[in-house]
Each structure stands twice: as structure tokens, then as C-alpha cells.
Structure 1
Amino acid sequence: MSRALTLIALIFMTPAAAAAQVELSFYGGVQSAPSSDVSVRDDVIGDDDFSISWEGRSSSAPIYYGIRATRWRSDTFGYGLDFAHNKIYPEDGELPAGYEVLEFTDGLNTLTVNAYHRWNGAFGDLTPYVGGGIGVAIPHVEVTNGTSETFGYQLTGPAATWIAGATYPINDQWSVFGEYKGTFSANKADLDSGGTVETDVFTNAVNMGVSFNF
């Protein structure tokens, strides 16, 4: 989270920002994930391939949330950074034999550089928008079995996101928004035992949030 805020500050606290509208957004919502295939390659605990059904538990601590900074260069085009704290748990504690923990709950974090198109003024005060971008996955990897325990943040691979929503102003500086947000992350993480765990994960979220414009 602190690294995401630092990157946002470095990009947006420049003289050029004064010539454009800058929007800082915070959001939460309901996030889920379909099942994915998991591959473990390890000389100590052995090789294994299996599928896990995931759930998001968005309102359980640590909650699902995101923060976004956008620089609108015109009435229609903008770009910026988006940090999302996604989460995935095995559904109903479903795990293969020998595993006590295998989850990304603090979280399945993604940091992406996005571009946006909006239809400003086309629907009165309501402004629809779409966006998408690419970046990196920085999950908190939690894997425990009978011989090793992995617990920590790792840079595990590329990530992508796609967004569609609409925003509505409260006043000149504040607005609220609702959106659909999907993410993809390719995760290949190192295990403390010397092996790797690998899975590609899609998440789907319905978000509600608030933005501050300056």
C-alpha cells in the first residue's frame, strides 16, 4: 500500500499536473474469483497439480479495497495508477491432502497503469467511462504444509485489469462512482522449501467509491 501511494505521488506531483484535472479515488465492493489450476514444483514436498475453487470474503478483515489516481488530459481521455487489494480463499477450506494453508488474503494485490475514456456531458451529470491497463501482481503468499511455511509479499508476474462504470458529481470537487472491475494476475511464487507454486487468477468485482478532484 505504501509503495503504491509513493508511485502515485511521484507521477502526479509534477508541474504538468496543474494543467490537468487530477482525480484521487477510493473504492470497495464485492469481489470474487472463479476456480484456477495450481501447480506446485518442489523437491522437498513433491510435485502436485490440482484445482482450487476460490472465494473473496470481501468484507472480512483484511477487507477488499482499492485506490486509484487518474490524470484527465482532456474531457475524454485520462491515465493513471490503480492499486487493488484483491483476496482469494479456498472455498469451504477445500485444500489437497498435506496442505494446511494455501491462500492470498493480504492480498492478491495488483498495481496497474491504466488508460481511460469517458463520455463527459453526454448523459447530463452522469459520466460513463471504460478503462484498462497492465502492471504487476504483488501478492501476500501464504502456503503451509507439513514441511515448510511460506508467508510474505512477492512479485509474482504480470497483471491486467479492465473497468466499466459511471461517476456522478456531489459538488465541484467530490463525486461518487460505481463500476465493474475485472483483473487477471499470473502468479509464480517461491516457496520457503525451495520450490514454486504457480496459478493464474481472474477476479471480478462490483465497486462503489468516492473521488476527490483537484
Structure 2
Amino acid sequence: MSYTGDVTAGGPAEVRELPDLTISKVEVGDFGNNAYLLRCRETGDGVLVDAAAEPGRLLELIGDRPISKIVTTHRHQDHWMALAEVAKATGAETVAHPLDAPHLPVPVTLPVEHGDKVTVGVVTLDVIHLRGHTPGSIALLFQDGHLFTGDSLFPGGVGNTERDPARFEQLYTDVVRRVFDRLPDEAWVYPGHGKDTTLGAERPSLPEWRARGW
């Protein structure tokens, strides 16, 4: 069965098998958050992106194989409500941008900045700092084709900037310059809530997003 990225609360994971990486997506919590488990196919090492809620479900998804890191894409509480419990159970390093790290419930053991790398076994993920939704929001990029965006980019627009013009301009600019100007239309977007999309599906709407200002 081909990967769609469509998940439901309490439902099974959607799994995508790439040559080097396996991506498992689940929906957890009352806010429809997406959590992603990434596993290196060569070593079995794993990284969890956003321990958002339902620690029992996330630990079941992780299973008996280890994970080395938990990445929190940004400081908002709905993205880290299971972080303390999952980190304690797995012993994984905790990863976030320094600007958002103080707002998390556990110390960040691996702070990352724009341009840094996060490793999953022999696989490397690029850190992209997307400022505006929060000061320290980050995305993770795998091989220019798979982008985990947290709440900075969704189908239909950039993340919520609370109608603050300066924050919107910063986020829009970062998303255009660091994502759309860099990556091909085929690049797949895995957001923090809801359905996936591609850059090609969203690119024609960039002028509309700028004009509406949110």
C-alpha cells in the first residue's frame, strides 16, 4: 500500500519505506498533533519528531528498538506533552533550538542551530531554522525530498503568527528562501498537524499567502 500521510486519532501509523529511512506517522492528543518516528534502515537507530502526547502510544510505536534522539520542532505545549515521559523511558537525547529550549519540560541535551545536522544512524537530517511561529521553530530535511516542518508550513499556508506583521514577514521570508527557493516541487512536507503536502502543490499559492498576510 502506498503512503498517503493520512492518519486519524487512535488509528494506525502510516509508514513510508525509503531506501535509507523508514518514516512512521501517527496522530496523537486532543489537538490532532502528528508525531513522526524516523528509523535508519541500515542501523535501526531511531529519531522521534515531536513527542506531542499519548506517551504510551509513542512508546508502543518505538517498540523494542532504541531511539537516540527526540526532536521538538518548537516550544508550544501541544508538541511536547509526552516529551518527559518518552525521554525518561528511552534515554534519548533531547533536541531543540536554543531559543525555544527553555520552554520545554526537560533540559535540551543537544541544541541545534540553522545548518546543523541531526544523525539517525548513518542518515543525516539538515536543521532549517524557520523563525516566526516561535523564535526557535525548526524543520528537519532529509535528502532534499522529505521535510518535517512542525507548525511552520502546512497545506494552504505558513504557521500561525497571530496576525503580527513582523512575525509573518519573517516566517514567510524564511519559508520562501530556506525551503521553496532551495527545494524541488517533489519535496514532501510532513507538518505538525493534519495532512501532508508537497512544495509543488503549495508553490503557486505563495503570492496569495503574502497578500493575505497570514
Pair in the same fold by TM > 0.5: no
Structure possessing the higher relative contact order (Cα contacts under 8 Å, 6 or more residues apart):
1
TM-score, scaled relative to structure 1: 0.23
Q: Which has the larger radius of gyration?
A: 1
> Which structure has greater strand proportion?
1
TM-score, scaled relative to structure 2: 0.23
